[in-house]
Structure 1
């Protein structure tokens, strides 16, 4: 059973965490200035910086990163000879998408049916509150047993690599003995989970042109090359008849050897409509964590309302490919670009622009930090730690692994299936926030003790 004083302290801190999360969610901190003003992100960054200062963090700084955004850094000293742990989260969020699909305003934290709803509640503003709650609980129960660095990114969702570039130029800034990334989640509610692998990402914008301008479909249709039809043919070529990703030169036969994902559980988590088949072949875990996956994120084409009877002269799409550990994101960009160009029919002109990329990541789950995390999760949840993959990308993980090869990297968080991150009605379970905050506090205490014992302190 968990330490009673520590568990009680964490529970008592959850109302404060909710109040602070309410403030943080109110900032529409979407890093893309084409959709939301930069001032919203700057206000969120300033809020994070002030929160760190109030917790006694030193060297708090707003870092101007090369992509035009800000990340927030702080250092909280512990015992002089103690190890250093880096805690990561990000304050930028996905756009709300169709706001009419939200049952409550996306930037107002709203409690409903035992969950807290709001954009960024789980991904990843809640992750920051998990870190703060764990640190506060430790300070009230014997003090901080190690040195803590915190980095809160401002453009993780955009994939523009600002923080990765900044850290590459200042490699001493985030040096640590172990790193806790608070941007993952439990495989299912109540099952404590660490994420051992992340898929990387290749993000491309493709533009197709066939005519100098739109033409009347009655007068020219049937002979004039339609750019939208060409684009549809190109995008369709990225999947086979089962829906599996088929990019020329990219292997799609990988197998996942860890935690299984039952099809019935996946259909429920993904909210697949009755009668609709899943795409791809093999086990669900294979498709999610061991194989590339293409997604068409958006298409530039006339909307149905207001469309005219025209042959389209140009069309465009934003295409993403998630690539598992063992693949190279840059090579995937090259293969996807070549595939789209070769799939263009009728000699259509194709322009491809790389909008972002990030390498996949795989962790060493046999390290001492993972042992400490397994103990902490067992104590907090009363269940054994599960190890899963994650289909999403956190490009910073590879940067940190390259800069600090001796550091252990663990991925935990609040982005479980019920959270519906990146979709309408994103939400956070306050119970999971409480248990994961407790888990992190227990982990920090156990990790510090194990390192001190190993050093003979």
Structure 2
């Protein structure tokens, strides 16, 4: 009798070109979720995903409404009652392609050059979704499913998934599962299979500082009225000390320290100072003293200014003393930090430091807890063996500096762990012009996902 695993792997290899052409069709849909003008395209992308799932053997498949963009949901059951249930998460929306003049080809006109496929969404995350659907199809066409499989594919990830929590709450019984497979992650390098086991949380605010009731002439009133832009800059400058530590009162009280085992595991990652300098183009690195760059990225909390706005910013000169100044501020949080507590710490800092010559307010915009996945979870170990089989070397485990809210929401609302994988690379230009997907890595990923289903399911 033919081994179903080997049949599925052969199916992937025989149909790889077709899968790539289907991915190109998917990428041609400009499903930009943040732009109302693209709402018809977002809806088209949802229909495309639903039809593609049906073609892969998922039944039933539904397009479920939310107060924003719809969610595509589907199920496929294994004949084995004792089989685990894998909930596959993904998103079909993409970032805006701007600035268009920096693209070397149309952002929604997929182009293969060398080993790379260029298009908006190629890596984040239509390519990852296509790999998962293709791997499922190969398994479904090669014998009994080793696991029950559910698909949850949303259209608002790139705008913060504002309607997903309500959807999860409304459909929690339907979404019940053993584990979630989330391919919205990536690898450190083409030859370094990677499993992400930690994600930082997020607390996002807008700080507004007000001075006079209206803009003033800086010659007539400068030196008499405190400039809100200057006050804001001084407040921001004081949010870090000389060692790169955040100065908000109590900010580090709940920070879980790294264990020696984790520090040793993170030290295995091939990402040193040179790696970050090459990736960023920065003249030198900066950050909290006493920690390596990879530790600061994934396991230590940070505070960053994401945007500043005040006064006159157009071409030429205008001597204005602005009436207000604004800053977008994000804090990446680590396990045990609470976004609500961080908000209170920011308020205490401002109450202690802000001068009486200005008024201020803080607007809360997002709050998500950090999450750590148990590296010994059976699904994580199934993925580890899958990656080692395909790449011929054990994967490295890393903590991701970014935030994926669905991972935290699934853990808090459904009690479900997530296995984070993906086959994007650091130089894929996510959210930037000339986004790309490295096709040899993607092809390996198809086979690794096939192995995952068999490793984790009933065979």
* TM-score normalised by structure 1 residue count: 0.89
* 1:90 Cα deviation after fit: 1.3
Match of 1:376?
Answer: 386
Match of 1:277?
Answer: 285
| Residue 443 of structure 1, aligned match among 436, 452, 455 | 452
Deviations 1:178-210 (A, max 9, x none): 211111112222211111110011111222221
Deviations 1:55-75 (A, max 9, x none): 232232223334x23221111
Distance 1:19 1:241, change over 3 A: farther
Match of 1:321?
Answer: 331
Match of 2:76?
Answer: 76
Q: Distance in 1 between matches of 2:110 and 2:176?
A: 34
1:30 aligns with 2:38: no
Aligned to 2:307, the other structure's residue is in SS state: strand
Distance 1:209 1:397, change over 3 A: same
* 1:325 Cα deviation after fit: 2.0
Distance 1:165 1:112, change over 3 A: same
Match of 2:184?
Answer: 183
1:335 aligns with 2:336: no
Check conservation: 1:225, 1:346, Cα contact below 8 A. no
* 1:413 Cα deviation after fit: 0.7
1:410 aligns with 2:419: yes
Deviations 1:306-326 (A, max 9, x none): 552211112222221111122
Aligned to 2:427, the other structure's residue is in SS state: helix
Match of 1:455?
Answer: none
Match of 1:133?
Answer: 134
Match of 1:43?
Answer: 44
Q: Distance in 2 between matches of 1:371 and 1:160?
A: 29
Distance 1:414 1:340, change over 3 A: farther
Distance 1:80 1:392, change over 3 A: same
Q: Distance in 2 between matches of 1:269 and 1:149?
A: 40
Deviations 1:16-56 (A, max 9, x none): 3332333333333333347x543332222222222222223
Distance 1:409 1:277, change over 3 A: closer
Q: Distance in 2 between matches of 1:420 and 1:331?
A: 34
**Deviates further, 3-12 or 381-390:** 3-12
Q: Distance in 2 between matches of 1:285 and 1:161?
A: 30
Distance 1:10 1:244, change over 3 A: farther
Check conservation: 1:201, 1:360, Cα contact below 8 A. yes
Deviations 1:350-393 (A, max 9, x none): 22211112111111111222222222111111111211111111
Distance 1:181 1:209, change over 3 A: same
Q: Distance in 2 between matches of 1:333 and 1:104?
A: 43
Gaps of 5+ in 2: none
* 1:340 Cα deviation after fit: 4.3
Q: Distance in 1 between matches of 2:293 and 2:172?
A: 38
1:312 aligns with 2:317: no
Check conservation: 2:57, 2:140, Cα contact below 8 A. no
Check conservation: 1:254, 1:286, Cα contact below 8 A. no
Alignment of 1:61-100 (within 5 A): 61-66=62-67, 68-81=68-81, 82-100=83-101
Gaps of 5+ in 1: 453-457
Match of 2:124?
Answer: 123
Q: Distance in 2 between matches of 1:374 and 1:117?
A: 29
* 1:3 Cα deviation after fit: 6.7
In the alignment of these two chains, the number of paired residues is 445
Distance 1:418 1:3, change over 3 A: farther
Q: Distance in 2 between matches of 1:108 and 1:157?
A: 20
1:388 aligns with 2:395: no
Aligned to 2:214, the other structure's residue is in SS state: coil
Check conservation: 1:22, 1:109, Cα contact below 8 A. yes
Distance 1:248 1:95, change over 3 A: farther
Q: Distance in 2 between matches of 1:416 and 1:337?
A: 38
**Deviates further, 134-143 or 383-392:** 134-143
Aligned to 1:418, the other structure's residue is in SS state: coil
Match of 1:288?
Answer: 297
Deviations 1:141-179 (A, max 9, x none): 335322210111222232244212211232112111221
Distance 1:276 1:268, change over 3 A: closer
* 1:426 Cα deviation after fit: 2.4
* TM-score normalised by structure 2 residue count: 0.88
Distance 1:306 1:22, change over 3 A: farther
Q: Distance in 2 between matches of 1:415 and 1:209?
A: 43
Distance 1:404 1:322, change over 3 A: same
Distance 1:39 1:340, change over 3 A: farther
* 1:348 Cα deviation after fit: 1.8
Distance 1:113 1:140, change over 3 A: same
